[in-house]
Chains A and B, each alone.
Chain A
């Protein structure tokens, strides 16, 4: 009665991998106040990346991934003027490949404008994989990573953009340095019991 309906298989041959050295090590890095040995890094150009001592292939891959993401998801404006209202004078470029744009970025004012790509992130995972295997395709399970484009807002601060479900675009400075005023505002109620389910 209960026969295999198909050749469907869930588990493939290879064992899953861990990249932070196991559960104890992963937790240990941050508990001791150290971070993992490889830090993600931000660069404005491929040259600044190689100048910092990173391999060219890694820098180029980081830039390319950011560029692909930029082309896909940068906030778009119908004119240069509208874009500059949000992103400041000289902060915008035509979207490459959009109707009316040429490779020199000259459109005579028509076409689609986006904030200029100001930099990119070379993530921990990209570096880890590159140093482990030499690969820059960053493809574990058949999908690619997001690239991480960096933009400059009107006041010159590095920002990333995220898109709400309504299509609205917010500029978000993230992980900015600040001063902590208080701690221990979470964790009091469950302190004495485990609550996993």
Chain B
């Protein structure tokens, strides 16, 4: 594994514009880096990323099966009590899930370590699946990379395949916060994959979802919403006014994903699999063992984009990210160094589509806490 610099593709901004990838810049900063790349060997991809990703996903699915019927564990996960039955129904009825992204700490030497599982509202899928793929194809075509170069990227075909396993017998709505360009773009991309799989698709703003007199969700044309992808966190949906109308079988990601997108799974996984090579020691913040780690990271259980994450040395804060999640319960996880090169700290985003490891996307940040200003950097596999 290494990081290299190379000349940008001359026309990448035009390509981004043509395909509606406006969020290649965010908050006035570059987000997509065309002139850098992470390089892996096939061995690193297969043995250190792909296989552990599928193993971790399986541990997570086993965990859901165990805790979904256990009220004590659901309380530890801060799932609202009123929805315990909903989660159980959704899991037992086999509500399908679509995708998730493991964030892994990996530097090419030891085993990859799971930092968290973005199993509910992961973004950066378009960049990894589509734009990164084009980056490689263009570079091979122009001779800037050798013809044998490859990329761990089965993402789009896996997404279309996963959508094709869902019957196209009703409108597939896609709900997101449309004012946010990144969320809207992510939603539009997944919607395109669903259309390619034969679905009739429509986008709707998350706030525009309505309810009829019988408690059925409705769209802007006053039709019932019977299947809906939502890029909106379950921990929020479960606490909002329409939560009382939720039932299993409608939303993707399904409500049982509220268990996996929750950082409280980190101590639960460590409790069940202590010493697992791809897990880091992790404890709830009120566990005395949480304070005994020389270097550790304290994370609110529902934090997104690194908000309110704190780096600790012998239990004392040394680096802290601001955010809106300060009041959440916390977990403390052992610190794992990220791959570091040229002052950049890189996180491996390893995608699960359906139940299969299907590709990766690298993000790097100038600080050790990966935030929303991190940059997406393409990767390739040495031929």
Within the assembled complex, what's the spacing in Å between the Cα atoms of A128 and B188?
Answer: 18
Of the listed stretches B6-14, B233-241, B286-294, chain A binds B233-241
The answer to whether A53 has its CB under 8 Å from any CB of chain B is no
Residue A19 contacts which of B171, B187, B192 (CB distance < 8 angstroms)?
A: B192
Q: Do A11 and B150 touch (CB < 8 A)?
A: yes
What is the minimal beta-carbon distance from B375 to any residue of chain A, in angstroms? Answer: 15
The answer to whether B123 has its CB under 8 Å from any CB of chain A is yes
The answer to whether A130 has its CB under 8 Å from any CB of chain B is no
**B190 closest partner in A (C-beta):** A26
Q: Do B240 and A197 touch (CB < 8 A)?
A: no
Q: Do A15 and B224 touch (CB < 8 A)?
A: no
Within 8 A of A (CB), among B184-209: 184-189, 191-192, 195-209
Q: Do A186 and B242 touch (CB < 8 A)?
A: yes
Q: Do B133 and A30 touch (CB < 8 A)?
A: no
Within the assembled complex, what's the spacing in Å between the Cα atoms of A12 and B344?
Answer: 30
Q: Do B126 and A23 touch (CB < 8 A)?
A: yes
The A-B contact count (CB < 8 A) is: 257
Q: Which residues of A contact B177 (CB under 8 A)?
A: 187, 190-191, 194
The answer to whether A3 has its CB under 8 Å from any CB of chain B is yes
Q: Do B188 and A16 touch (CB < 8 A)?
A: no
9 contacts between A and B (CB under 8 A): A2-B44, A5-B42, A20-B201, A23-B192, A27-B187, A30-B202, A36-B195, A172-B169, A195-B305
Report A's interface with B, CB cutoff 8 A. Answer: 2-5, 8-11, 13-20, 22-27, 29-31, 33, 35-36, 39-40, 121, 123-126, 128, 138, 140-141, 143, 145-146, 148, 160, 162, 164-165, 172, 174-191, 193-197
19 further contact pairs, Cβ within 8 A, besides A27-B185, A162-B167, A178-B213: A5-B43, A8-B46, A11-B133, A11-B151, A123-B168, A128-B195, A164-B93, A172-B170, A175-B225, A175-B226, A180-B210, A186-B175, A186-B209, A186-B242, A187-B206, A189-B240, A196-B304, A197-B261, A197-B304
Report B's interface with A, CB cutoff 8 A. Answer: 18-22, 41-44, 46, 92-94, 101, 118, 120-124, 126, 129-130, 133-134, 136-137, 150-154, 156-157, 160-161, 164, 167-171, 175, 177-178, 180, 182-189, 191-192, 195-214, 216, 218, 220, 222-226, 231-233, 236-237, 239-242, 245, 261, 304-305, 324, 359, 372, 381
